Amino acid sequence: MTKTGRVYYSNKDREYFLELTRNLNFIANGNLNRTLDKMLIVSKYTKEKLTRFFEKNGVIHILVGNFSDKNSDWIFNQVSIFLNDLLKKMKIDDVRKISMIKKDLISHELDQFINYIEKAVELKVKFVRPDYDYIDKWLRVDYIGLSSESVGVISLLLDKENNLKFNTISKNENIDFKESVLTIAIEAIMTIIRGNMIGYPRWISIKLGFQKYRFLSFKKLENQFFLYCITEGNLEKLESLETALNPYLEDGVSIKFIGSLKPFNEIKNKIRDFIGTISERKFY
């Protein structure tokens, strides 16, 4: 897919991944200030499923499946080379402006090529967790949110260093407005996930540089509540952060949300005070 629309997808049941990727790419480029890397989908009914993203020549390639990084990179490169050669052959200069007729032709050619790829790569592989090597020994939290059935009840922007970018927002906008922008963007992602699959993204990674990563993580809590955090550093420390937040969230998520934000405003203040006691907001 391009940043503005789909070019091809091999599985109609996963077409919604295109819209999901568009939303993820928006927040990755706009607020997390880099490009998409990986996403882990979790479900109580199926095994964990890894998604990888690869952007080249204005096209975002999406691969869903538990492939090793080595196999993923090989598949991405093979498909990208084939697509670029096909676009040149069809004299398409701007991939964002492909006609429906040419999209159908591209889909036919890619279907045949994907069949070749499937024969070349072992599809049923043992689940491989992302092979991250981290420079950082800590996980710094920049944003914390809590929602109930797509209604944001806590939005807490902690980023004093302006690590998160708001390219479309004036520097004069207050922190409440920036918190709302992040909440709306993240809830749009959750709406797509809830509407199309039995599961949710445990985390989405954004590669910042060599062995440097930013993460948008989600954790399912009681009574349809979701905790989400934007962090940077070492993903292995995520549970330390979530465990530290649990005592502050327990009372709020113990019953279903009935529309009153007052108790959650109190929880938000307590979390802000707690994070204020953590040096540089870094969890080890």
Q: Which residues pair with 85 in a beta bridge?
A: none
| Per-domain residue ranges of the chain | 12-120, 139-283
Rounded Cα–Cα distance for residues 194 and 215 (Å): 20
pTM: 0.81
The Cα 59–Cα 90 span in angstroms is 17
Residues 6+ apart with CB under 8 A from 99: none
| Token code pair at residue 282 | 């870094």
Q: What is the CATH number of domain 139-283?
A: 3.30.450
pLDDT tens readout for residues 82-122 = 999 998 898 888 877 778 888 888 888 998 888 888 777 76
pLDDT digits (tens, 9 = 90+) for 177-191: 888 888 888 888 877
Mean pLDDT per 10-residue interval, the chain, length 284 residues: 68 74 77 79 74 86 83 88 90 81 88 82 56 84 92 92 70 75 83 71 88 92 94 95 97 92 95 97 96
